[in-house]
Structure 1
């Protein structure tokens, strides 16, 4: 059996360096000069040869996180595949970017953050028509995986779509604190007065302890933005105050920043392969590319975007020093 001409590290380096084109052909064209360079077929085989397994990511980031500190944030994002309906994992998903349902691949991420560092520790590709797993099934699997790996986070943060009764009980059962948004029609009980939508409950500035059927007592908060939008939050930490809630809520932005950097700096949306295996491997290696940029940011202070721009900037500088395309001088 012949030796593979390219490795996952080669592909990850390519994803970090390439500005936009993330095809196997472009990976071959931009490979380092050597006697027997990897052709585009070698990269195609790589995407189909590797086993798409989140454990590979965890093996790399495990030394870079503190399992007894920080928070775990779970959220999902839709990777745009607006005109790629022949790609296997592509389905119709809600997109916060487009504010409508679009064709794409839904990526569910579990991110660890201590305020300074942001590191992905687990992920799933939501493909219910094929594997039959719901988003709550993926939530359960990733939370169980985090517990098995020895995480003891200060809190687990997630959006209202994951705030099912089973998920709240699951996090509480591990002895962990959760903070989640609730939909305005979520029913709670105050002073045994009967269950009613949380939007009908008078919640003061310091929050209010209520009872949610099946989950026990919770402290709920009402947050009103400057433009009048109202958010409802709930936690099983009954001693949490509004300042504590705000501090944790701000941490939720880490996963939003992660998804944005994953798309803009790691080309996670730009794989053109059709098979689910190749797409999953591309996504996994794009996430591992982000882990390298994130660690570099923490170690050097150079942001993800600046690190990405520096690669292209060096190429532009080299071209300007020796330009190739000129109009010949007129005699």
Structure 2
């Protein structure tokens, strides 16, 4: 299942198994859990990442157990098919757009590249309502500029007249919790250390890793610690016992 792919954090091509994760967050720092995942192996099942995205979303909608309604994702999943399905389900979303996405602010102006749209008269603090090509409902666009000058175009279906810019920034920050999950999942469960060559064995290994991560997260929550602290805490009783009762006596 391993293939060459481009993860954003590596800034280059690497060999690995692609995973698409659906992660639930309470909005609080560090409080998130994976709800579902899919293995991206298009050579085996001919499914794209967007196919997996929709499959997981359909599963959550069908089960009806998730109370949260805003869905946060990056521009890779911001295609018209996904946006229309989320809209039909009655969910809101926050996502980013690539600068070449075709949008318009009025029928008379026609569609043009996102980056070519000028700022609205009041500025970007309240966003601007636009329409995307092939998307039959209006969305609101915000321009966020990082301290290093990087520009991020954020789009939401949340059309409240007084949607504060701070709420948009908060949503973008919460979205990065999926990256926190990816990092801790790989570092704490050994997900990348599977030596199996059989695809089914690799999938079984990943399933065990997800279960281990969730168990560790719940254990950390009971202790009032971070996942990393709880992971280190597991070894502490054993190490303390070794120090009290040395298996090999030091030579005097």
Same fold (TM over 0.5): yes
The DSSP-based 3-state class of the residue aligned with 2:47 is: coil
Larger RCO, structures 1/2 (Cα 8 Å, 6+ apart):
1
Which residue pairs with 1:220 in the alignment?
Answer: 141
The DSSP-based 3-state class of the residue aligned with 2:178 is: helix
CA contact (8 A) 2:105 2:131 kept: yes
Which 4+ residue blocks in structure 1 deviate beyond 4 angstroms?
Answer: none
CA distance in 2, matches of 1:299, 1:199: 47
CA contact (8 A) 2:220 2:229 kept: no
In the TM superposition, residue 96 of structure 1 has moved relative to its aligned partner by: 2.5
RMSD: 1.5
Which residue pairs with 2:57 in the alignment?
Answer: 143
CA distance in 2, matches of 1:322, 1:152: 51
CA contact (8 A) 1:152 1:176 kept: no
Q: 2:32 aligns with which of 109, 112, 118?
A: 118
Find out whether 1:131 has 2:17 as its counterpart.
no
In the TM superposition, residue 244 of structure 1 has moved relative to its aligned partner by: 1.8
CA deviation vs aligned residue, 1:180-233 (integer Å, no higher than 9, x gap)? 111111111122212111111124222110111121211001100000010011
In the TM superposition, residue 321 of structure 1 has moved relative to its aligned partner by: 2.2
The DSSP-based 3-state class of the residue aligned with 2:177 is: helix
Which residue pairs with 2:103 in the alignment?
Answer: 188
In the TM superposition, residue 326 of structure 1 has moved relative to its aligned partner by: 5.7
Name structure 2 gaps, 5 residues minimum.
Answer: none
CA deviation vs aligned residue, 1:56-111 (integer Å, no higher than 9, x gap)? xxxxxxxxxxxxxxxxxxxxxxxxxxxxxxxxx10011123321011000111001
CA distance in 1, matches of 2:220, 2:239: 23
Deviates more, 1:305-314 or 1:101-110: 305-314
* Aligned residue runs from structure 1 range 231-270, under 5 A: 231-239=152-160, 240-270=163-193
Name structure 1 gaps, 5 residues minimum.
Answer: 1-88
In the TM superposition, residue 292 of structure 1 has moved relative to its aligned partner by: 1.4
Which residue pairs with 1:306 in the alignment?
Answer: 229
CA distance in 1, matches of 2:153, 2:217: 31
Q: 1:210 aligns with which of 125, 130, 142?
A: 130
In the TM superposition, residue 311 of structure 1 has moved relative to its aligned partner by: 1.6
Q: 1:165 aligns with which of 77, 80, 87?
A: 80
CA distance in 2, matches of 1:161, 1:131: 20
CA deviation vs aligned residue, 1:126-147 (integer Å, no higher than 9, x gap)? 0001110001110110010010
Find out whether 1:93 has 2:17 as its counterpart.
no
In the TM superposition, residue 280 of structure 1 has moved relative to its aligned partner by: 0.8
The DSSP-based 3-state class of the residue aligned with 2:17 is: strand
CA contact (8 A) 2:99 2:153 kept: yes
* Aligned residue runs from structure 1 range 100-111, under 5 A: 100-111=12-23
Q: 2:114 aligns with which of 181, 189, 198?
A: 198
CA contact (8 A) 1:111 1:122 kept: yes
CA distance in 1, matches of 2:172, 2:164: 12
TM-score, normalised to structure 2's length? Answer: 0.90
Work out the number of aligned pairs and report it: 241
CA deviation vs aligned residue, 1:116-159 (integer Å, no higher than 9, x gap)? 43111100000001110001110110010010110342300101
Which residue pairs with 1:275 in the alignment?
Answer: 198
TM-score, normalised to structure 1's length? Answer: 0.69
